[in-house]
Amino acid sequence: MTNIISSLLLLISFNMMSVQTAAQTPRNLLSRFSRQEIADALLPKALWHPFPVSIAEWQKVLPDSVRQSIMRQAEVYQKIPFVAIPATMMMEYQQSGDRSHYEEVSFRKRDQLFTMAVAESIEQKGRFMNAIINGIWSLCEESYWGTPGHLYLQKAGINLADVEDPSVDLFVSETATVLALTDYLLGKQLDAYSILLRKRIYYEVNRRMLAPLEKDSDRYFYLKKGTKEYPINNWNPWVISNWMTSLLLLEKDPERRISELEHALHLLDHYVNFIGDDGAIDEGPVYWSGATGRLFDGLTILESATGGKLTIYNAPIIANMAAYIYKMYIAGSYYINVADASPVISTDGLLLYRMGRALRDTTLTSFGAWAFHQYPVRTPISGDFAKPRMLFNMQAWTDCSNSKGQAPAIPDVWLESIQLMAARTDKGLFVASHAGHNGESHNHNDVGDFIVFASGQPVIIDAGLGTYTAKTFSKERYQLWYNSSAYHNLPTINGVQQSAGRKFGAREVQYVKDGNNVTLHMDIAGAYGPGAGVNQWKRDVTMDRQQNRVRVTDDFVLNAAATLTQTFMTVCPVDIQRGTIRFNIPGERPVILEYDADIWNVKKEQIDCSAPDEKRLADNWSHRQITRLLLQRKEGVSSGRHEFIIQQL
């Protein structure tokens, strides 16, 4: 599996705190569907055909070249045996904190089975059937379908899996769906081999997911109502969308299909109710696919299984959740990255295209078509999760490939629920900044941070996330430099950095548009612990469109005279002169940062990113040199005001 997938999995399971609060009035968009409405709309299992199953149907939705690419991928997987996962591999996480070996084997097995099932459905020559049957049996024989790091969900805690206490995590739901889709795609072929294969699939999916969620959904944090103290995150739509798919594909009892779909929709409402009205997620755009994308997966299943009778696509919150992805877009492959997020995302253009079409959002549809061509997809089976999404994506392949589209360039963004602003000029200057607090999901201590891009290229950056290790999830998390405020574009006051926790946050936050100026006002003093001795640190981040420049102003009051250091992070080669720092952008006009040389000394540190936990950082920035600039106040002061001007020459 790719490093991206492994990192994503760890991201999902860490730090469930959220900056968002539940909506004041629950929307209950899905709970409004009564059991009778669901019963009247839900298609019988025998009449629901969401995906192609015949050669002719596959030929209709996918070009020959794409079908052949799936065949080639399946042929590679056919040569890899389905191996058992030993107990010692499961115990590696408990013993050393390493779950990568387990996940590599586990995730590959699911990709193998799904890819070969799709290939066999397309071709129907029987050449993949023996491997598929072995894959089904191998998955059914596993003691646990999830990942070892999530065994805290079982009563025995993180240990070997307790088969008498099946618990449902993200990847239990993924595995159930892979088996349900295999049953759907190849049911007749499986029955021809043995009438016990599909019986076994249902038994295991029911035992490990359907029954546990039916009988004891209150057991799971991600299915409870979200509050400020007990937030809800993307586990909710991730698991529920898989639950809905597996239930509706496998369950033969009509009454159970109705009652458990109703149950799932009520729980999915907890997530929709929790998201702020602007549709933002504090986990950043790298999580949008696993959060809003998963919600859309569930809504797509609902629409399909009810013949289009039950939908909520016209609700403003759904439109706003979808639009978040293009509001966070900068240029090229760059997105605003906060907390544990990568600055570069290869966006799923087919997903964006389908979502834009369903929501009648032409910006999103156009963005999806652009992304589809920007990040060429040779095969719709990408080795990632969300298998039902892949099958729905396939059905949009031709339409999307025939559309050109364009990347969005939203001039102003204000997401109040996460206190994030962004602004750009028509000359290519871009700034983003956020207030918030230091108890956000996958938090970095970064209240008041900002980033600047010019001509679509990074100038002043948030370094992003490192490669995950056991330290990432320990009390030593903020000893990792890239998680600390001293390595964000923030002040260090009296040698003290920002502190972690929800109580350490911004105050008096205001977003103001005034003519050509767009400004985020915030007092970030509250993000620092008592040792900093800071009473007030009012920071204004302004985009001045008339002057085509960014202005950062700090107005501060301290308890006593203290040392001050201001950090700027960059991947640009820099030249330091008195009063100016020149950021050189290959092939583009340079950017300069003006500072008051009478009060600041400047020094430069280069970060080599050679440590094991720094590999992801190097990958984030295409192995460009990460440089830390330190502006150090020449004299200790107890109050004052200073300004930094950033503009492209």
Q: What percent of the chain has pLDDT over 70?
A: 96
State the average pLDDT over residues 73-101.
92
State the burial class of residue 431 (Cβ atoms within 10 Å of its Cβ: 0-12, 13-18, 19+).
buried
Q: Are 58 and 115 in contact (CB under 8 A)?
A: no
pLDDT of 20 higher than 70: no
pLDDT of 312 higher than 90: yes
pTM above 0.95, yes or no: no
Mean pLDDT of the chain: 93
pLDDT of 19 higher than 50: no
pLDDT of 471 higher than 90: no
pLDDT of residue 170: 97
Of 5-19, 422-436, 595-609, 634-648, the least confident: 5-19
Of 9-13, 462-466, 488-492, 521-525, the least confident: 9-13
Q: Which residue do the tokens 């890899």 mark? A: 80
pLDDT of residue 517: 92
State the average pLDDT over residues 112-120.
98
State how far the Cα of 87 lies from the Cα of 76, in Å rounded to an integer: 27
Q: Which of 608, 584, 583 is nearest to 594 (CA)?
A: 583
pLDDT of residue 474: 78
* Helix 292-305 vs helix 316-327: crossing angle, to nearest 10: 140
User: Cα separations (Å) of 442 from 213, 230, 315, 368, 626?
Assistant: 27, 15, 29, 27, 22
Provide Rg for the chain, Cα atoms.
26
HSE (side-chain half, CA atoms, 13 Å) at 71: 14
pLDDT of 101 higher than 60: yes
470 pLDDT tier (thresholds 50, 70, 90): low
pLDDT of 321 higher than 50: yes
State the average pLDDT over residues 533-554.
97
State how far the Cα of 524 lies from the Cα of 591, in Å rounded to an integer: 27
pLDDT of residue 538: 98
E-only strand ranges, 257-388: 329-331, 334-335
**Which amino acid is residue 450, in one-letter code?**
F
pLDDT of residue 469: 74
pLDDT of residue 440: 86
State how far the Cα of 555 lies from the Cα of 537, in Å rounded to an integer: 6
pLDDT of residue 22: 46
Q: Give, as one character, the DSSP assignment of residue 528.
A: B
Q: Are 366 and 380 in contact (CB under 8 A)?
A: no
Q: Are 131 and 157 in contact (CB under 8 A)?
A: no
State how far the Cα of 577 lies from the Cα of 37, in Å rounded to an integer: 70
Q: Is pLDDT larger for residue 382 or for residue 197?
A: 197
State how far the Cα of 316 lies from the Cα of 25, in Å rounded to an integer: 14
Q: Is pLDDT larger for residue 389 or for residue 96?
A: 389
State the average pLDDT over residues 191-217.
98
Q: Hey, what are 430's tokens?
A: 């871009």
State how far the Cα of 312 lies from the Cα of 299, in Å rounded to an integer: 8
Residues 326-381 have pLDDT tens digits of 999 999 999 999 888 899 998 999 999 999 999 999 999 999 999 999 987 778 88
State how far the Cα of 400 lies from the Cα of 383, in Å rounded to an integer: 21
State how far the Cα of 167 lies from the Cα of 567, in Å rounded to an integer: 45
State the average pLDDT over residues 608-625.
91
Q: What dihedral do alpha carbons 614, 617, 621, 624 form, nearest 10°?
A: -20
Residues 568-598 have pLDDT tens digits of 999 999 999 999 999 999 999 999 999 999 9
